[in-house]
Structure 1
Amino acid sequence: MSRTEGGPAAGDRRVRRTHAALRSALIRLAEDRELSQISVADVAGQAGVSRSTFYDHYRDVHELAEAACTGMIDELVDVMTALGGDPETGDPLGSLQTFFAALAEHASLYRSLLGPQGSARVIDHIRRRMAAAALQRSTGKSTATPDDPHNVPAAFVAGAIVGVAADWLQRDCAHTPSEMAKLTWPILSVCHFDAHPSAPRPRP
């Protein structure tokens, strides 16, 4: 977590603007190079702030990358609703394609954080967000509580998607997002539909 996020100043408009500028700068830089090749000076220069300003908010580039990725994943999962289907078409394949396309857009950044030497925090965050979205779809509850039984199908689907995505990124996105959606959905649907018979079947 960044140094200011979650604290008294986290809601400050200037803090939010600085966070957005730093995250956007990192995402732009990651289009051309690996995360390990990006320095604090690179990010600060791209964002138009000083190094001291960077350190006011994040410990290092890796922490900034974690914050940027978890933020993007939150937005993406909100749209996907964990295989519930595209908001307009109701097509689970569309949701998966959206997910893989978003990863491909920032492949270098996600490859660094989801790879063998990546971020356990980001991996766990993706898994938890997707499992929570799957739980919301199947039970109508937005969050799990300690009293809830272990939702094995939701956990399985979330973990499977993370694993497939990480492997795909490490292989330089060998398949297109559309191909990945078509390859992934038949496997996930076995668990998804068996657990939730009322879920919409994918269109042939």
Structure 2
Amino acid sequence: MRRTQAALRATLIELVQHRDLSRISVADVAERAGISRSTFYDHYRDVHELAASACTVMIDELIEAIPGRTPAPPDDPPDTLLTFFAHLAEHASLYRSVLGPQGSARVMDHVRHRATAAVYAHRIGAVLDPSADSPHDVPAAFTAGALLSVATDWLRRGCPCPPAEMAARTLPLLLALYREDPGRDG
């Protein structure tokens, strides 16, 4: 079951590189994955549900792979921001489809929740527990919302500048937030 779902997600990610999500059918995905349409429907209602699943899985993997540190030189973008924007750029077609105006509220909520939890864990110096719900933390929620907004705008505009530039342009905004955060220890 998991292997089939992984194959379907990989197939969709491959297909969306070449055509818009709205032009990909269940038959396209099933044929490319080497399964029947009924097997597809055993796992997903439609291509959009598959896309939402692919994105939430990729976001979970991304957040778990991001290092929880910043490099020593303060004007270099942290590895986390560069990794985040590079990942989005690599899968821009898929993210543009699910995070755009006709996108998935489920994916948007999942990204916001996972990003808030990751920022909170980083703020308190803890290891992120994906199953735990972080407490309400205004700076973490604000940061996650701001990053999501910047990322969706960048994707919507066709990623007009490279991920490294996006990370470098976003860093001062984040640093300003935490410099002004009276609740932050340190």
**TM-score (ref. length: structure 2):** 0.88
Select which of 112, 115, 118 maps to 1:130. Answer: 115
The answer to whether the aligner puts 1:85 opposite 2:74 as a matched pair is no
Deviation at 1:80, TM superposition (A): 2.1
| Deviation readout 1:4-54 (Å, 9 max, x if unpaired) | xxxxxxxxxxx0100011000000000001100100000001111000000
Matches of 2:48 and 2:19, distance apart in 1: 14
| Deviation readout 1:74-129 (Å, 9 max, x if unpaired) | 01111226xx336xx57752211111111111111100111111111111111100
Residue 144 of structure 2 aligns with an amino acid whose one-letter code is A
Gaps of 5+ in 2: none
**Residue in 1 aligned with 2:177?**
191
Write out aligned runs for 1:35-50 (5 A). Answer: 35-50=21-36
Contact 2:77 2:168 in 1 (8 A): no
**Residue in 2 aligned with 1:9?**
none
Write out aligned runs for 1:23-172 (5 A). Answer: 23-80=9-66, 84-85=68-69, 93-139=78-124, 140=126, 142=129, 143-144=132-133, 148=135, 150-172=136-158
Instruction: Say how many residue pairs are matched.
Output: 177
Contact 1:113 1:119 in 2 (8 A): yes
Deviation at 1:135, TM superposition (A): 1.6
Gaps of 5+ in 1: 1-14, 199-204
**TM-score (ref. length: structure 1):** 0.81
Contact 2:30 2:36 in 1 (8 A): yes
Moved more, 91-100 or 110-119: 91-100
Alignment identity in percent?
58
Matches of 2:64 and 2:176, distance apart in 1: 23
Residue 111 of structure 2 aligns with an amino acid whose one-letter code is I
**Residue in 1 aligned with 2:167?**
181
Matches of 1:54 and 1:187, distance apart in 2: 43
